Structure 1
């Protein structure tokens, strides 16, 4: 609640007054003011009142700690502080780190406070202590032994530390200061604003995260990284150029070469070279690449290493003759891979059915081209895995299946999955104790309605769910399963095309959004139910409605070039926006319907109508003649139904303020963006458009040279606009400044501070940074105000001092030569 004026220092409240701020300051400064009143005053909207509360010795301690962040100088001047430091040496430990750092950044800190703060284990506090030039050598020696590299380095570079360092050492010391790439994904965006200085490139390359997508522009920079994982990421990027892939194919790291070998853009000549690589991982990758010529694939199929041979076989591109040769391979795994891809090789399959390895016989037993006599022989195989494979083979005779049905385990599961299994056997299997067998029966296309009725009441939810998806389940049972306690079962009912409309309507209110999504995706769902699901509720349900097969079919129909005109006109009136959008793109749509869709309440429908190929004939001639039109004609055309025409009018340099005001409130973002780009737009309207809900409109306003600097600074901090503003020379310093504001010490922030277009405000922000490399960047910058350089000449860090002094000297010399 806002502060109310007081009649006396003891807290008695009085009536509200417009000039209460002055009285509030008086109350805030009075040591006799009650603690409860001071707490209220600490939230006063007037900054001066809050500052006075921070200096009042009667302000409660916990409140002082909070106010110290905003008003560190007032806190330090508070008589309570010096008294507390004398009486309570442990007070420093009670201060929050943020408060303590804010205090330590102030000049003239009591020596007692510095000594106590230096004992803190927090690196931020230690760095804040090191900001002070008057630290004793004993304290610096202690901090120089800190494990934190930036703290230790700052202590060694302190002006009171022993030894000397040349300014040429600054860059190497920055690289050794624990500089990290905090967010590679954002660093990629920062790179568009601030190119990496040459001396920082190696750090940038080596700290890049391999999990972050790499653009074509970034790939050449990162390809030189000493970290193999980064080079692998470059080689794997879809956008990597062929020339770079050729270079990386020579990499010393086998995994990098393997990634190159798997890339779809790797040239055949390089694949041929890599096919003979000494590392099997590389040869495997070549074998798996669809672009590898068959002649090289055949050579890899004869590789000494089994893994390479298997990869070549599994590619599916080896000719039958080569596969038949590989069937003589001594490794069972290779033979099994060959059998799975054999076609038209019955004699070879029959021969392999007697292979001594049970795994090979099992794969052969499942092959549909195996001779019937050998199928029957394998049905008597001593290995259960082989008999289970026979049980799944659609060629297995019914007699064999009945005989195998007397067994248990995997064999019965194989029978339940066999498409030839009869109803009688399925009825027996439906009572199997294993849920996996009953699940397979529930999914079987030959399972009768009577069996499905039993399985719909199964104790296992997965079996009931599978029964609910079977297209032959009786409709009445679907209605019963719609009330199943398990959401997965109800979802299966909601997905079944045979579920009646009443049940679907009931399920559209289900507590599970997954069930409601299934209703939204069901082509049998009534349109009123879809309309209701699309109008509110969970966003995933609304998205599912847009993917309903019926609506997708309507979209395709509305776009068809041979659609009857009457039907097209009807679809242009559809209640579904996506259908209207599809109709709006049809070049056969009538002018009347097109004009109606230009007024559609949904923006993307209007955009589609304006982009209709036939629309151009209505406004192309008008656009050509706009430049020479009289003001009266422009006013008339500003009411055109075509947004392209209104956009062109909005850019006209001779528009009246009233007409610009009209166009700046147009419902189409493209028209408002055009108005925002007009150099003659009044400042009042430009400021309104700078706050528009549409990002393209705000971007257009930001690029208008008439936009006031304060608004441009504000818009430059919007990351959605920064890519479009990067080329704007007015905006670039503000973009750089906003990025500096949003970051703590890291590689990206240092890169921004080194940018030659960094604003003076951004440099001022970093001039009191805890990290000396940032202060050095400010001290070295050609745009740093001389007043800041004068401060940095007396910085606690010797390299910062030298850089600031060198900068001032160079400027003085430049002025003397003028």
Structure 2
């Protein structure tokens, strides 16, 4: 990879004529960077795709290519991308349905809006992988037909397809359909067979633990799991799995909405912590069950409950005492009413004040009170809040030191002088250098200090405030990431850009 040219290809200040020169010499990596440009014209996009056909996929998804720009023979993946966007032609679809390349037929099978004759061709494909892909994405009428397919893998895909009618989903996990005759396991191995978790064969693609004793049991379990996960499966068809011996099926059931309270209650007593944790995060459980789960001995159960958007505020306050929730804005906190925000901000528990400090739309009086909090984790949570003055941020830094340094640096209104001050703080905080390096108010002096930090160096190299002579010097840096970042810097002198791009 030529890091210089890849960086230039991503440089937003690169003039159109230099973009054209880069297209003419582009390899796969340069084309990838060119395809990501926001100012690429349709003509340039077509030229990139013609130069490097693989880049046509991204350009097609971006809407920069049309049928007129793509040759399905030489650019099959770009043509398939257009078909996926419903921007291809029926003739293309018919061509790919008969394509000898399996990957192309598989990709076509996942495309929406295919003509009926194309779907029929794919449903009769000789390779089960194509039929399976069709079953995963096709229309309700086709899923109804494929639900009774003799291969269990096709039925698994039908069970996962959200377009599959509810009665068909219920039949897949009931006993209404004839049993399948084949599965991926018995396609490859004579039953009975259990696939080793640590299979030594490099060409084996069976999942660990896949098994078949003639009843295709592992795939049948996957069919049940897919149907339980499918929101279209009727509730009455899934509730019986609450006591199923398969942990995986109970685990899947725990995430479903709309189940009877008694089912959720029994899942809350499941011996597997993961089942209870997913149940705790389910917005459909009631407050009484939340109170039960709030005292669960497993930390992950309590943590997931804290992230439940419908958790009651008193339960959340209870959880804050002994649960490591992390520095993120919880859904329930984000949805708190003004009165609840005031209540949380006045809590005697600093862990609760920290939670509300993660909001970025606090009333000024609450924001200011939290900024002056005596607890470092509270101040740290609110430090990036817009509207804090430089005096407040410096006072926070004086009070709590390195513990709030990076979060003060992340404040979008931190002044240039403050950012320079943060680079000289002792002891330093490495995260602060990364925040400063990408801050819009960073000065040249602050960015030069950031260049001394290995992780912040590439971020500083692309910052447009960095002096042009320094950017040019970084083009020969020993770190390839820094070289690419410097080449992508919009402050790189035009004359240097022109010298770096090969002449046509």
When normalised by structure 1's length, the TM-score is 0.37
Q: Secondary structure at the match of 1:513?
A: coil
Q: Does 1:453 align with 2:265?
A: yes
Q: Note closer, same or farther for the CA distance 1:334–1:520 as it changes in structure 2 (3 Å cut).
A: same
Find the aligned partners of 1:508 and 1:481 in 2 and give their Cα distance: 14
8 Å CA contact retained: 2:281, 2:307: yes
Tell me: higher relative CO, structure 1 or 2? Use CA pairs within 8 A at least 6 residues apart. Answer: 2
Number of the residue aligned with 1:426: 238
Q: Does 1:291 align with 2:56?
A: no
Find the aligned partners of 2:149 and 2:296 in 1 and give their Cα distance: 44
Number of the residue aligned with 1:355: 125
8 Å CA contact retained: 1:246, 1:266: no
Number of the residue aligned with 1:709: none
- How much does 1:515 deviate? 8.8
Number of the residue aligned with 1:510: 322
Find the aligned partners of 2:313 and 2:350 in 1 and give their Cα distance: 20
- How much does 1:283 deviate? 4.7
8 Å CA contact retained: 1:387, 1:411: yes
Q: Note closer, same or farther for the CA distance 1:355–1:473 as it changes in structure 2 (3 Å cut).
A: same
8 Å CA contact retained: 2:306, 2:330: yes
Q: Describe how 1:705-744 pairs up with structure 2 within 5 A.
A: 723=443
Find the aligned partners of 1:531 and 1:539 in 2 and give their Cα distance: 5
Q: Secondary structure at the match of 2:131?
A: helix
Q: Secondary structure at the match of 1:249?
A: helix
Q: Does 1:240 align with 2:10?
A: no
Find the aligned partners of 2:391 and 2:100 in 1 and give their Cα distance: 74
8 Å CA contact retained: 1:442, 1:455: yes
Q: Describe how 1:197-208 pairs up with structure 2 within 5 A.
A: none
Q: Note closer, same or farther for the CA distance 1:511–1:469 as it changes in structure 2 (3 Å cut).
A: closer
- How much does 1:543 deviate? 4.8
State the superposition RMSD in angstroms.
4.6
Number of the residue aligned with 1:138: none
Q: Describe how 1:12-411 pairs up with structure 2 within 5 A.
A: 228-251=2-25, 253-277=27-51, 279-284=52-57, 286-296=59-69, 299-300=70-71, 302-304=72-74, 306-314=76-84, 317-318=87-88, 322-323=92-93, 325-343=95-113, 345-346=115-116, 348-367=118-137, 369-371=139-141, 374-393=142-161, 394-396=163-165, 398=167, 401-402=170-171, 404-406=173-175, 408-411=220-223
- How much does 1:481 deviate? 0.7
- How much does 1:340 deviate? 2.4
**Aligned partner (choices 345, 351, 358) of residue 531 of structure 1:** 345
- How much does 1:387 deviate? 1.0
Number of the residue aligned with 2:300: 488
Number of the residue aligned with 2:250: 438
- How much does 1:445 deviate? 2.4
- Post-superposition Cα deviations, 1:480-525, rounded to whole Å, max 9, x if no partner, equal 1112233332122223344333212211223413398538735358
Find the aligned partners of 1:445 and 1:354 in 2 and give their Cα distance: 36
8 Å CA contact retained: 1:365, 1:375: yes
Q: Secondary structure at the match of 2:233?
A: coil
- How much does 1:452 deviate? 1.2
Unaligned stretches of 5+ in structure 1? 1-226, 556-570, 579-601, 608-665, 670-692, 700-718, 727-734, 743-818
Number of the residue aligned with 2:189: none
Number of the residue aligned with 1:205: none
Number of the residue aligned with 1:184: none
| Higher Cα Rg, which structure | 1
Find the aligned partners of 2:308 and 2:444 in 1 and give their Cα distance: 48
- How much does 1:281 deviate? 3.7
Q: Secondary structure at the match of 1:363?
A: helix
Find the aligned partners of 1:325 and 1:255 in 2 and give their Cα distance: 30
Find the aligned partners of 2:158 and 2:442 in 1 and give their Cα distance: 65
8 Å CA contact retained: 1:388, 1:411: yes
Q: Secondary structure at the match of 2:253?
A: helix
Q: Does 1:417 align with 2:191?
A: no
- How much does 1:725 deviate? 7.8
Q: Secondary structure at the match of 1:514?
A: coil
Q: Describe how 1:362-761 pairs up with structure 2 within 5 A.
A: 362-367=132-137, 369-371=139-141, 374-393=142-161, 394-396=163-165, 398=167, 401-402=170-171, 404-406=173-175, 408-514=220-326, 518=330, 521=333, 523-524=335-336, 526-528=340-342, 530-532=344-346, 536=350, 541=355, 543-544=357-358, 546-547=359-360, 552=361, 575-576=366-367, 605=387, 696=417, 723=443
8 Å CA contact retained: 1:534, 1:542: no
Find the aligned partners of 1:466 and 1:380 in 2 and give their Cα distance: 32
Find the aligned partners of 1:392 and 1:253 in 2 and give their Cα distance: 39
8 Å CA contact retained: 1:494, 1:515: no
8 Å CA contact retained: 1:465, 1:492: yes
Q: Secondary structure at the match of 2:243?
A: coil
8 Å CA contact retained: 1:242, 1:267: no
- How much does 1:467 deviate? 1.3
- How much does 1:239 deviate? 4.3
Q: Note closer, same or farther for the CA distance 1:333–1:479 as it changes in structure 2 (3 Å cut).
A: same
8 Å CA contact retained: 2:320, 2:352: no
- Post-superposition Cα deviations, 1:709-750, rounded to whole Å, max 9, x if no partner, equal xxxxxxxxxx99994789xxxxxxxx99x99x99xxxxxxxx
- Post-superposition Cα deviations, 1:435-459, rounded to whole Å, max 9, x if no partner, equal 3322321222232211111112222
Find the aligned partners of 1:479 and 1:378 in 2 and give their Cα distance: 44
8 Å CA contact retained: 1:423, 1:446: yes
Number of the residue aligned with 2:206: none
